[in-house]
Amino acid sequence: MIVNTNWLKKYTDYSYSAEELAERLTAIGLESNLIPDKAAGLEEVLIAEILAVNPHPNADRLTVCIVTTGEKQFAVVCGAPNVKKGLKVPLALVGSTLPNGMILKPIKIRGVASEGMLCAEDELGISEDHSGIMILDENAIVGGRLADYLASNDRSLEIDLTPNRPDCTSHIGVAREIALMTGNELYKPDINLSESESATSAYISVGIEDQIGCPRYAARLVQGVKIGPSPDWLVKALASIGQRSINNVVDAANYVLMETGHPLHTFDYANLKGQKIVVRRAKAGEKVVTLDGIERELSDDILLICDGERPVAIAGIMGLANSEIEKDTRDVLIESAYFNPRIIRRGSRYLGLQTEASYRFERGADYEGAIYALERGAELIAEVAGGRVCRGVVDEYPKPIESPKIVLRYERTNRLIGMKFEPEWVKKVLVGLGCDILNSNAQEVAVRVPSWRPDLEREIDLIEEVVRIYGMSRVPSTKTLQMIPNISTDDRYDRIEKLRSFMATCGYSELYCNSLVSARATEFGFEPVKPVKLRNPLSQDMTFLRTSLIPGMIAAIKHNFNRRRFDLRLFELGHVQAYAPEEETQARESLRLGALLTGYFDEPNWAYPRRKTNSFILKGLADTLAHEFGVCNLNYSKAENLFFKRLVKISAGKKVLGYFGELAPDYLGKDWDIEEPVFGMELDADFLLKQVNLAKIYKEPPVFPSTERDLSIVVKCEILVGDIMKKIRQNGGDLLREIRFYDLYLGKNVDKNEKSLTFNLLFQADDRTLTDAEVDQIMATIHSNLSRELNARLR
């Protein structure tokens, strides 16, 4: 919504500057921004006329324009396509300053000196337009300043209205708010109609078939108008708020809309058949051509204005082409109605069509103000287009709407806001808003709210008005804050934070990936799930909710590869959604932890060799996480999956904690055009977080020294190291505290089908120093078990 400062002054007096007005309106809830003054910064730009356009000797696309400021001629090199002899254009001479602060310097363009620059609108800061030189009106004064040409003493404000304030979609509405602040009077223009002998009712009758959709329909006829251009004041008024002039009748209706906020519609009476207006619902599938020339199919939510035979307008949204005002229109029927906001909104959404009219009707127009707007429209049309206003209005208003009666309690107001308001001041505000005071005492005041404020329905709405007009910034802040002695805890947040920080500590950087993904991305996963689909996606590749974090994370890897970053350690903690196989309707949300590795794990350095990443770094991460978050008895087993070359399933008891492995080169190649190996892991973070015990209990470290022994054996290749370690643990008894596997050897001196393994074993007792004999005894048991069950040989 755009309002103009001078236009506003027609309805109330105020002395605020434009800047101050914007600030004050913002403070009472009408967020206003000043539209930049077009003339600012253009004091040194002149108006010139092009005398000749000569080709540039060295460049086909450039021209050398000879321009005059009346006294002097200048040669200016120009690249714009729209220069022509006789045009009046803005000229910045060498040495002058442009609005962006740039001072024009002497310049040679492709060998020809240019004495200045012909400017496009963007160079002048007027608009973003750079398609060509700005062309000025023929009557622009050559040699004059562009600033004077553009100057006007009024400014315009753009108001970002909240949806609850239809009353402020007009100059009178905004003026009412200004009057509330200044205490000055609000005056609506008086109407002086000279009516003709013929009565409107002799020419038109109105029948409302849908009284829910259209509670009120009023009309008036103006005969014998002459369609033509609007007078200058009207063109300028509309231009000041960014509206184009169309013709005198349409402009007059538009002016009334911008003045009162009430949409009027104008019909060419000659094209209305049967001398009647019927308001009815459309039939589903019914087709009409709106005045923008588009054929539209309607639904039965849409309200139609019809004549005796056919639809002539989509109520409250747009007129139809068959009855619009044309050049030869003589008689104009003006419509001023009140339509049901919900029905207009449904229709406007169905058609995907928002207009100045629908914007206001769907927020709630003024049902009582309809007649004032109609009279004002008739008066103005007669004034600017001639014609005779027919006597009386036709006003179908079968069940007059009564605006609500509301009681405001002072104590309640004070208790909610936290300060004391003076009852007298409160009443003054309510009256200023347009409320009628029905009765009042020391405790409360009862009012009837005005018809233009459909948002005022309850006591709380009036309390809001009181604090809004008082000024929210003026409400004092309390000196203290109340606290609740709280025993409920929010561990989950702490745990999530612990998990995140732990991952960062382990060297992984955090990703936030889009949770909206393509169908292909939902195929990725470890167990089959049914993805959740959006009914109205933004685009094809964002149709589903992700079922795994990994595809989004691979996209991030690809993004980094494209920027030549090849060593990556990344993680994400985020939600995935899917329908569980057994329940079709309830999507299940789960928190996942994803980790991806590729390239080298270490930074390049001068001291150590760098480690290539591999799956076992992820396995080690899983072990460490499990330990840190209190998950016991991890189990690893081999798994199969199309997307992985090698995949390992991690379980804790019966529960699957997650998977890790090397992504399949085939998948990386085809889907992502990635050739380097990438390793990935995805864990059930909900499970991990459930286990965490943030309370730790300290255990004394052992007092007695430990004993270490190495164990080197040779076994068949296919025997799993994990199985050997399990056997060692089983046979090591309580005194075996740690097993570290630290050497794997294949090759020279070892048979092709065998491998040589070395373990370091640590023994310790809590109550004594172990003797060699004791440890030897255990080692002997381990040896004999390994050789018996796994055919292991000592080395």
Partner 1 sequence: MDLLNRIDEVRAQLQNDIQQVGADPQAAENLRIKYLGKKGLISVLFADFNSIPAEQKPQIGRVLNILKKDAEARIQALSEKLKATSSQDEFFDYSLPGLTPAVGHLHPITQTLNRVIAIFREIGFVVEFGPEVETDYNNFQALNFADDHPARDMQDTFFIDEKRLLRTHTSPIQIRTMLKKKPPIRILAPGRVYRNEAINPRSHCVFHQVEGLYVDENVTFSELKTTLEVFAWRFFGADVKTRFRPGFFPFTEPSAEMDISCFICAGKGCRLCKYTGWLEILGCGMVDPNVFKNVGIDPEKYTGYAFGMGIDRTALLKYGIGDIRLYFDGDVRFLEQF
**Which residues, 114 to 173, sit near partner 1 by CB under 8 A?**
162-165
**Interatomic CA distance for residues 24 and 763, integer angstroms:** 80
- The minimum distance between CB 121 and partner 1, in angstroms, equals 20
- The minimum distance between CB 726 and partner 1, in angstroms, equals 25
Q: Which residue has the tokens 């103009």?
A: 4
DSSP per residue, 545-557: E-S-SHHHHHHHH
- The minimum distance between CB 591 and partner 1, in angstroms, equals 9
Residue 735 φ/ψ region, left for φ over 0, alpha for ψ in the -120 to 50 degree band, beta for the rest: alpha
- The minimum distance between CB 27 and partner 1, in angstroms, equals 5
| Exposure class string for 771-792: b at 16+ Cβ within 10 A, else e | eeebbeebbeebbebbeeebeb
- The minimum distance between CB 358 and partner 1, in angstroms, equals 10
- The minimum distance between CB 280 and partner 1, in angstroms, equals 20
Which residue number, 308 or 418, has a Cβ lying nearer to partner 1? Answer: 418
**Interatomic CA distance for residues 88 and 60, integer angstroms:** 23
Which window, 52-60, 91-99, 225-233, 556-564, contacts partner 1 (CB under 8 A)? 556-564
> Is residue 404 within the footprint of partner 1 (CB under 8 A)?
no
Q: Which residue has the tokens 């009765």?
A: 439
**Interatomic CA distance for residues 713 and 23, integer angstroms:** 84
DSSP per residue, 340-363: -HHHHHHHHHHHT---HHHHHHTT
Strands 311-314 and 678-684, how do they pair?
A: unpaired
> Is residue 537 within the footprint of partner 1 (CB under 8 A)?
yes
Which residue number, 470 or 636, has a Cβ lying nearer to partner 1? Answer: 470
Q: Which of 93, 202, 542, 762 binds partner 1 (CB under 8 A)?
A: 542
- The minimum distance between CB 784 and partner 1, in angstroms, equals 16
**Interatomic CA distance for residues 537 and 547, integer angstroms:** 16
The residue length of the chain stands at 795
Question: Is the CB of residue 256 less than 8 Å from the CB of residue 262?
Answer: yes
Which residue number, 108 or 563, has a Cβ lying nearer to partner 1? Answer: 563
Instruction: State the Cα torsion 74-78-81-85 to the nearest 10°.
Output: 10
In 161-315, beta strands by DSSP E:
195-199, 205-208, 216-223, 264-268, 276-281, 287-289, 295-297, 303-306, 311-314
- The minimum distance between CB 241 and partner 1, in angstroms, equals 20
- The minimum distance between CB 654 and partner 1, in angstroms, equals 26
Helix (H, G, I), strand (E, B) or coil at 519: helix
Which residue number, 265 or 345, has a Cβ lying nearer to partner 1? Answer: 345
* x/- map, 7-46, partner 1, by CB under 8 A: -------------------xxxx-x-x-------------
The neighbour count for residue 570, using CB atoms within 10 Å, is 21
Helix (H, G, I), strand (E, B) or coil at 403: coil
Write out the binding residues for partner 1, residues 264-323 only, by CB under 8 A. none
- The minimum distance between CB 565 and partner 1, in angstroms, equals 5
- The minimum distance between CB 712 and partner 1, in angstroms, equals 10
**Interatomic CA distance for residues 380 and 385, integer angstroms:** 8
- The minimum distance between CB 207 and partner 1, in angstroms, equals 26
Which residue number, 255 or 544, has a Cβ lying nearer to partner 1? Answer: 544
Which window, 46-54, 173-181, 342-350, 755-763, contacts partner 1 (CB under 8 A)? 342-350
**Interatomic CA distance for residues 551 and 517, integer angstroms:** 9
- The minimum distance between CB 30 and partner 1, in angstroms, equals 8
Helix (H, G, I), strand (E, B) or coil at 448: strand
CB within 8 Å of 237: residues ≥ 6 apart: 4, 7, 255
Which window, 114-122, 147-155, 500-508, 758-766, contacts partner 1 (CB under 8 A)? 500-508
Which residue number, 41 or 79, has a Cβ lying nearer to partner 1? Answer: 41
Which window, 175-183, 233-241, 309-317, 491-499, contacts partner 1 (CB under 8 A)? 491-499
**Interatomic CA distance for residues 222 and 532, integer angstroms:** 59
**Interatomic CA distance for residues 201 and 380, integer angstroms:** 21
Which window, 222-230, 314-322, 484-492, 630-638, contacts partner 1 (CB under 8 A)? 484-492
Which residue number, 203 or 361, has a Cβ lying nearer to partner 1? Answer: 361
- The minimum distance between CB 556 and partner 1, in angstroms, equals 3
- The minimum distance between CB 387 and partner 1, in angstroms, equals 37
Q: Which of 139, 192, 441, 605 binds partner 1 (CB under 8 A)?
A: 605
Number of shown-chain residues binding partner 1 (CB under 8 A) = 99
- The minimum distance between CB 602 and partner 1, in angstroms, equals 6
Q: Which has the closest alpha carbon to 445: 417, 416, 411, 397?
A: 411
DSSP per residue, 138-187: TTS-TTSBHHHHH--S--EEEEE--TT-GGGSSHHHHHHHHHHHH-----
> Is residue 482 within the footprint of partner 1 (CB under 8 A)?
yes
Q: Which amino acid would we find at residue 606?
A: W
Which residue number, 564 or 654, has a Cβ lying nearer to partner 1? Answer: 564
Which window, 66-74, 107-115, 373-381, 499-507, contacts partner 1 (CB under 8 A)? 499-507
- The minimum distance between CB 46 and partner 1, in angstroms, equals 28
**Interatomic CA distance for residues 512 and 519, integer angstroms:** 20
Question: Is the CB of residue 77 less than 8 Å from the CB of residue 64?
Answer: yes
**Interatomic CA distance for residues 247 and 48, integer angstroms:** 32
Write out the binding residues for partner 1, residues 616-655 only, by CB under 8 A. none
| Distance from chain centroid for Cα 301 | 28
Write out the binding residues for partner 1, residues 504-533 only, by CB under 8 A. 504-516, 532-533
Q: Which has the closest alpha carbon to 195: 230, 223, 219?
A: 223
Write out the binding residues for partner 1, residues 450-479 only, by CB under 8 A. 458, 460-461, 463-464, 467-468, 472-473, 475-479
Write out the binding residues for partner 1, residues 408-427 only, by CB under 8 A. 415-419
> Is residue 346 within the footprint of partner 1 (CB under 8 A)?
yes
Which residue number, 221 or 343, has a Cβ lying nearer to partner 1? Answer: 343
- The minimum distance between CB 512 and partner 1, in angstroms, equals 5
**Interatomic CA distance for residues 654 and 702, integer angstroms:** 34
Which residue number, 232 or 584, has a Cβ lying nearer to partner 1? Answer: 584
Q: Which of 167, 335, 362, 662 binds partner 1 (CB under 8 A)?
A: 362
Q: Which has the closest alpha carbon to 219: 239, 238, 197, 203?
A: 203
Q: Which of 486, 633, 693, 749 binds partner 1 (CB under 8 A)?
A: 486
Which residue number, 211 or 414, has a Cβ lying nearer to partner 1? Answer: 414
Which residue number, 15 or 536, has a Cβ lying nearer to partner 1? Answer: 536
> Burial, 105: exposed, middle or buried (Cβ in 10 Å; 0-12, 13-18, 19+)?
exposed
| Distance from chain centroid for Cα 10 | 37
Which residue number, 198 or 760, has a Cβ lying nearer to partner 1? Answer: 760
Write out the binding residues for partner 1, residues 720-779 only, by CB under 8 A. 771-772, 776
> Is residue 251 within the footprint of partner 1 (CB under 8 A)?
no
Q: Which residue has the tokens 């079922």?
A: 547
Q: Which of 441, 488, 637, 753 binds partner 1 (CB under 8 A)?
A: 488
Write out the binding residues for partner 1, residues 171-230 only, by CB under 8 A. none
Write out the binding residues for partner 1, residues 559-588 only, by CB under 8 A. 559-560, 563, 565, 568-571, 574-575, 577, 587
